[in-house]
Structure 1
Amino acid sequence: MNNSDREWMYDRLLEDGFINSRFIDGVESFVEFAKSHPECMDGEKLRCPFNHRKCQNKNILDEFTVMTHLGNNGFVPNYYRWHHHGESYVPGPSVFGNHQEEASASGETLNSQSHNEFQAMVFYIAGPSFDGNIEEDPNSTAQNIYNLIKASEQEIWSKNPHGHTQLSVVARLLNLKAKHHFSERLYDELCEFISELMPTDNIMIDSFYSTKKLMRELGLPVKKIDCCKNDCTLYWRKDSELVNCKFCSHPRFKRSKHQCSKKKTNISYKMYYFPLAPHLQRLYASDATAKHMRWHYEHERDGVIRHPSDSPAWK
C-alpha cells in the first residue's frame, strides 16, 4: 500500500469547512479493515488512531466512538500503514541484500510476528479499564504496565526495516533461547554482538538479567519449590523443614562438588510451579478470551447433543 493511496486520511476538511466525503468513506473502510483482524482488537473494541494524546493507538474504544474521534480531529500523523490494526510491515531495503529476496522466494517469513501483536499483548495485560493518561505518580503495578508499553512502542532503532521494538526483539530471543537451549552467558554475548551490529542509537537489551527484569512485568509469576529428587514429596508447609524425603529418605540437598570448601551451600532439587490464578485472571481480562472462558455457563441447551456438556452423562 503506497502512501498516495491513503492521502484521504489527511484530507479531512473541504474549503467550506465540511468533512470531505472521501474521508468519510475512508474511515468506514478503515473500521471494516480493523474489524477483520480480531487479533488486534479487545473483543468488540479497537484502538483509536485519533490524533490526541489520550488516543494515538493506545486507547481502546468502541467502533462509533473511534469514527466520531476521527471525524473531529483526524488520524495520528503518518499512520499510513495500519500496523496497530492488523496490517503487517513491508520491509524496506535490507542490509542483507539478495538473501532477503531468496528467503521471501522460498516462502520463509523474516518477521512472522510484527510488533503490534506485542503491543496488543501488553494492553490485554493492562485491561480495557487501564488509563495511561492519569496525571499522577503510578503505583508499582501501573508502572510495570507503563514500562511494557514503552518497550512495545520503542523501535529497537529508528525506522528499522522490520519495525522491531525492544519487546518484540526480547520475545524472539527468549524463544530462541528456549528452543536451542542457550546458556545465559551465550545470551549475554549475543545481545552484546547484536547491539554492535546496530546503529549507535539502538536500545537493544544488554543481558539476560535485563530481559528477565523486563518480562517479569508481564505478571505471570513462577515459583520455585524444593522437592525430592525422586518426585516423592514437596518441601513446603508442614514439610518445609525436612532434610530427607519422608518416603524414600533421599537427601533434600545436593552433594557439594567441592567437599573441602569451607563455604557450605545447601542447593536443593527444585520444581517450577506456575500459579493458576494469575493465568485465569489474564484469560478473563481480555474480551477475546473471556467469552470462551464463560462458554459452559452461557451455553444454551436445546435438547440436541452438540457438545459433551449437552449430554446428561456430563453431570
Structure 2
Amino acid sequence: MDKFWMSVGDRCSNAYRDGVKAFLHFAVRNCKETSPPISVSCPCVRCVNHISLSVDDVEHHLYRFGIDKNYTTWIKHGEADTNIPTNYVNNTGFACTCIPTNYDNNTGFFDTNIPIDACETVEMVNATKDNFKGDKKYQQFLQLLVDAEKPLYKGCLDFTKLSALVQLLNLKSKHGVSHKFVDELLKLLKKMLPADNEMVNNMYQGKRMMKAMGSGYEKIHVCINDCIIYYRDYKDLEACPVCNKSRWKVDEKTNKTYINTPAKVLWYFPIIQRFKRLFQSKTTTENLTWHATSTNKPGVLRHPSDSPAWKFIDDRYSDTIGSNPRNLRLGICTDGVDVHRGNRNHSVWPVLAVIYNLPPWMCMKRKFIMFSLLISGVPGNNIDVFLQPLIDDLASLFEVGEPTYDAYKQEMFTLRAVVL
C-alpha cells in the first residue's frame, strides 16, 4: 500500500488529505466492531495506537498532530491479515459471502484507490439497511454497497457511481429543472465520460436506484366519492363499502369498467425513513438540536420552542418526547394547487410536514419541508380520510419511536415525533 503521504511535512497538502481519507477508509473497513459507534486505534504521534477513538477524533488528531512515521505497517488496523475470511462481516453488521469490490486478492489488502467520497455514500446506504428485508431485497442492498464504492470510471477519485447520481439529483431539486432535461443530460454525460464509465443511462435507472434506498412512494387507491381509501382493512375490496361505487374507473357513457385502472389515487411518500436520514448528516443533526443549545431570552418569542405549546409537550411527555432534544416537533399543512392553466381546471392537494426543531432561518427552507402526501383532485370536507397513512406513521413515531443513528454524536437513539 502506498504510504508516500506519511512523509509529507505539510499536513494541509492534498497528498496528506487524500492519505488521511484512504487510511480512515481502510481502518473502518477492517474494524472488528460491526455496530455504531465505531472506534479505531489512533496512530497520531500523541496517541501512537494506545488509545481508541471515534473516526472523527482520529481524523482530527491526524490533522492536528500528524501520523506516527514509524507506523509503516498498519497492524492495528488489519494490514497483517493476508487472508480474508469466508464469511466477510462488513461495517453494516451483515455477514455475507461476497468479497468487497475493493479487496485485492494479490496483496490481501483493501484497495484505497477508490473515490474520496466513497465512505460517505457507504454510510448513506448503510443507513437504509432496515428497508432491505428478505433475500431479494438483501441482494439489492449488496448491489447498492457495490455502487457506493465503485468509481464512476477507472481511475476516478472524486465520484462513485452512486455519489455522482446523488449529486445530479440534488442539482435537479435545487434548480427545479425538468425530468426530461436530466434524462438528456445523463445521456450526454454517458457519451462524454470514458467508455467504461458507470453513469446511469437515464432517469428511469436513476430513480430505481434511489427507490431502493427508500425514497419511493406508495400508490393508494381512493373511492371516487372520497369515502375511503383502499388501505389496511379495505385494501382488497373491489367497491366502496359506503357508497358502493367501483374501485376502478368507469366510463359514464358506456358503463365500461377498466379493471386495474383506479378511479382515484393518493400518493404517499413514507416519512419515517426520511426523518431518519436527516440524522445521517452531522451538520443537520446539530441544527436539529439548536432549540436546546442556543441561548434563550426570557420573555422573547423567537422560536416555537419558546411557546407554551412546546413547554406543555415537554412537561406532559417528559419521559418520551421531552427527554431528548432530538425528538421532532412537526407542523402539518396543506392547500390546493392548480396544476393546469387556461380553461381546464384541476387541482392537487400536497400535504407538507415542517420541522420546528431547526433554527428559524432553516425550518422553512425547501430541503427541510417534507412532502408527505399528494391528493389528486379536491378532498372535500373529509380530508382526514386521506391522512390515514401519514397519521399511522406519526402515531408510531410518537408512541413507539424508531431506532436511529446520530452521525453527530455517533450513537443510536430512539427517535420520536409529535405534531404541535
Q: What is the TM-score of this pair, normalised by structure 2?
A: 0.40
Higher helix share: 1
Point out which structure has higher relative CO (alpha carbons under 8 A, 6+ apart): 1
Give the structure-1-normalised TM-score. Answer: 0.50
Higher strand share: 2
